[in-house]
Amino acid sequence: MAKNMAKPNHTETPKKKTTVSIDWEEIFHNPDTGLIPLIGEAKSAQSLQKCSQVIIKTLFNRDGDEDRRTAFSAVIKDVLVYTAKHSQSKAVALEAAKSKISQVLQSIKEDRQKRAKEALLANARKQSDKFIRTKELEIVETPPKQTEEVSSDNASWSLNTETLEEPEKPLSEDTKPQKVPEEIERTPIYEAGTPEAFFVRAMASAILDRLKALRGKSIKCRDFPEGIPFILSKDFAEHFKDILSFDILPRLVDDCYVLINRLTVIPNDKWEDQLKSILEDKTERLILWERWQAIWLDVTTQGDIPPKPSNASVKPKNKILEFFAKLGEDDHYDDDDDEEMTMEEWKQAKAIINQSNEEADKIWQSLCEHSKLYIAPLDEDNRLLMELFGHDIEHYKDDMKKIIRINGSRQEQSRLFESYQQGDNLDLPLLSLCYGNPDKMLKGKDSPLISMLSGFDVSWKKQTLPLTTRFLPRKISNTTEK
């Protein structure tokens, strides 16, 4: 825990702030009242859509959530259209749609749990230092001009983005690209010069530019004999580009047909400007982000097999039945259009999902395959790679500048780091600076990394800086608890 710099005034009696902990696992997975079981009980596509819309409105019910409600509604519509188009019957399409929408809800749950965890950690730190949160956290002297904070909601998209890099240097033996094992050349899915091919290339470029911003140009292999983390490796970026272009982004094309159709009516030299113009709209960006999440999870994670049909129609029980009753008279439980799957249809659906799961496993294992050129990702890195799509390059640059500013401060650096960390996640930017500037960040008993993290307990470091702790364990272990 960070060392206090001033004695607390025991005459003060601060008001106790109560933090309500929400059990998101219970809300999403409770068999009787959970949101995901509600999805599983829908008996028709129309019922599924109505159910999903009610859930989205419940989860995003604040005035400022209108864009997210619009985005998720568009994703649900896309899922229903896609499954209906690619399924052999309505019953099979319904089960496929349930699986995909459940994945979207699972992603929302994980995001809520992540935010709750971060809030809990921040509150715990505030409570431990509640008497000294004054001018100690301000930087002595006039602070540099702050750049505008950029979030994923207003992130800009660019195909050619400058990154926070050192000037180009002559290649040494350590900086020369290593020989990459040859891969089987794959045939492009879309013909060059088509709007679809442009869209895939543009989206891949946007994601890879984020990796480029993180790794810079100064990482030297000789400084890290144990290997470079995948997230900072140019070789991994090339491998990731191949999987994005052939296995993941073509699926996004199917869901972005309206956007792509806008490109077909203008000259191809105007496509980039048109795409940038479209994505300047906040709602359009959110829709694209939610569509990306749904596709990523579908392509890289495992879907659930629907329950085997019974001879008799079984209606949902308890709160689930009450929920659907509130949807109105047209609850569709007795619909003739979307009857319960027959055993033959269930077998078809099971075969389709099993095949999809095999393909997803193959794609993910390809991403995680061992390499002599970098430390490969683990299963726990799935969300990290997915969220690269929503991050902004300028945000990364600002975070790196914050850390550099901490190093030049006269105050206790661990307190400044904690202050910045509470408003942002500095794990990736910190990892990037440590690998890009090891002589400045890691060398010596009083290195900037040690100074910034000195005083924090092991649990805080692991939860707040999982990547830095994982890839620099020996350096982190030197930042002893005070």
Per-residue pLDDT reduced to its tens digit, 228-279: 999 999 999 999 999 999 999 998 988 887 788 788 888 999 999 988 888 7
Q: Is residue 41 included in any domain, yes or no?
A: yes
Are residue 65 and residue 88 in the same domain, yes or no?
yes
Mean local confidence (pLDDT), 290-308 = 88
Tokens (6 digits) for 338: 């979307």
Which long-range CB contacts under 8 A does 3-11 form with residues at least 24 apart?
3/412, 3/414, 3/455, 3/482, 4/129, 4/132, 5/132, 5/136, 5/412, 5/415, 6/131, 6/132, 6/136, 8/131, 8/132, 9/131
124-142 burial code (b ≥16 CB/10 A, e <16)? ebeeebeebeeeebeeeee
Do 385 and 396 fall within a single domain? Answer: no
What pLDDT sits at residue 187? 76
Give the DSSP letter of residue 375: B
Instruction: Please report whether residue 353 resides in a domain.
Output: no
Q: What is the pLDDT of residue 328?
A: 44
Least confident piece of the model among 86-100, 327-341, 434-448: 327-341
What range defines the domain where residue 110 resides?
24-118+307-340
3: pLDDT strictly greater than 50 = no
Across the chain, mean pLDDT equals 75
Compute CA distances 424 → 70, 82, 156, 470, whole Å.
Answer: 26, 36, 18, 19
Q: pLDDT category, 86, cuts 50, 70, 90?
A: confident
Residue 339 pLDDT:
56
User: 7 or 322, which is more confident?
Assistant: 322
- The length of the chain in residues reads 482
Nearest to 84 by CA among 35, 41, 48: 48
Q: Which of 3-12, 43-52, 292-301, 418-427 has the lowest mean pLDDT?
A: 3-12
321 and 402 co-located in one domain: no
Does the pLDDT of residue 37 top 90, yes or no? no
pLDDT tens per residue across span 109-124: 887 877 776 666 555 5
Given pLDDT bands bounded at 50, 70 and 90, which one contains residue 89?
Answer: confident
Structural contact between residues 363 and 70, judged by C-beta atoms closer than 8 angstroms = no
**Residue 349 falls within a domain, yes or no?**
no
What's the pLDDT score for residue 323? 57
Query: At 476, is the pLDDT very low, low, confident or very high (cuts 50, 70, 90)?
Result: confident
pLDDT of the residue at 371: 93
Same domain, 295 and 316: no
Positive or negative, the Cα torsion across 452, 454, 456, 460?
Answer: positive
- 356 Cβ neighbours under 8 A, 6+ residues apart: 298, 303
Q: Report the Cα–Cα distance between both ends of the chain, in Å, rounded.
A: 6
| Predicted local distance difference test score (pLDDT) of residue 390 | 81
Distance, CA of 99 to CA of 305 (rounded, Å): 8
**What value does the mean pLDDT take over residues 169-188?**
50
Give mean pLDDT, residues 122-140: 40
pLDDT higher than threshold 50 for residue 158: no
Of the chain, the percentage scoring pLDDT greater than 90 comes to 21
For residue 375, list its beta bridge partners.
229
Compute the distance between CA of residue 277 and CA of residue 202 in angstroms, rounded to an integer: 14
Judged against a pLDDT cut of 90, whether residue 398 lies above it is answered with no
Q: Half-sphere exposure of 191 toward its Cβ, with a 13 Å CA cutoff?
A: 1
Q: What per-residue confidence (pLDDT) applies to 287?
A: 84
Q: Quote the pLDDT of residue 149.
A: 35
> Which segment of 276-285, 345-354, 369-378, 402-411 scores lowest on mean pLDDT?
402-411
Same domain, 248 and 187: yes
Residue 80 has pLDDT above 60, yes or no: yes
Q: Please check whether residue 450 is in contact with residue 108, taking contact to mean a CB–CB distance below 8 angstroms.
A: no
Domain count, the chain: 3
438 plus 404 within the same structural domain: yes
Rounded CA-CA distance 323/202 in Å is: 43
Q: Determine which of 18-22, 141-145, 297-301, 450-454 has the lowest per-residue pLDDT on average.
A: 141-145
* Token pair for 285: 């960006």
Q: Report the share of the chain in percent with pLDDT over 70.
A: 73
User: Which pLDDT tens digit goes with each residue over 435-450?
Assistant: 998 988 888 777 888 8
Of 39-48, 76-85, 178-187, which range is least confident?
Answer: 178-187
273 belongs to a structural domain: yes
In contact, 121 and 375? CB cutoff 8 Å? no
Give the span between the Cα atoms of 163 and 213, in whole angstroms. 5
Q: Which residue has the tokens 């052999």?
A: 88
Residue 329 and residue 290 share a domain: no
* Short-list 243, 234, 473, CA closest to 374: 234
**pLDDT value of position 294:** 87
Higher pLDDT, 132 or 427: 427
Q: What are phi and psi of 375, to 5 degrees?
A: -85, 115
CA 365 to chain centre: 19
Would you report the helix, strand and coil content of the chain in percent, each value rounded to 5?
A: 60, 0, 40
Residue 18: pLDDT band by 50, 70, 90 thresholds? very low
Predicted local confidence at residue 242, as pLDDT: 94
Q: Which residue has the tokens 């649990």?
A: 459
The two counts, helices (H) then strands (E), for the chain are 22, 0
**Per-residue model confidence (pLDDT) at position 11:** 40
**Cα 284–287–290 angle (5° rounding)?**
150
User: What CA–CA distance (Å, rounded) separates 429 from 442?
Assistant: 15
In this structure, are 189 and 245 located in the same domain?
yes
Query: Which residues fall within 8 angstroms of residue 114, CB to CB, at 6 or more apart?
Result: none
286 and 333 together in one domain: no
Closest alpha carbon to 137 in 402, 459, 347, 479 = 402
Geometric angle at alpha carbon 149, from 147 and 151, rounded to 5°: 145
pLDDT, position 131: 34
Q: How confident is the model at residue 410 (pLDDT cuts 50, 70, 90)?
A: low
What is the Cα–Cα distance from 207 to 391, expressed in whole angstroms? Answer: 9
Question: Rounded distance, CA 215 to CA 189, Å?
Answer: 29
Q: Is residue 5 part of a domain?
A: no
Task: Give mean pLDDT, residues 127-148.
Answer: 35
**Domain check: are 166 and 296 in the same one?**
yes
Indicate whether 412 pLDDT > 50: yes
With respect to residue 288, please indicate whether it lies within any of the assigned structural domains.
yes
Are 277 and 179 in the same domain? yes
DSSP state at residue 143: P
Q: Is residue 141 part of a domain?
A: no
Is the same domain home to 336 and 244? no
**441 inside domain:** yes
**How does pLDDT run across 354-365, given as a tens digit for each residue?**
888 999 999 999
Structure-token pair, residue 270: 């105007």
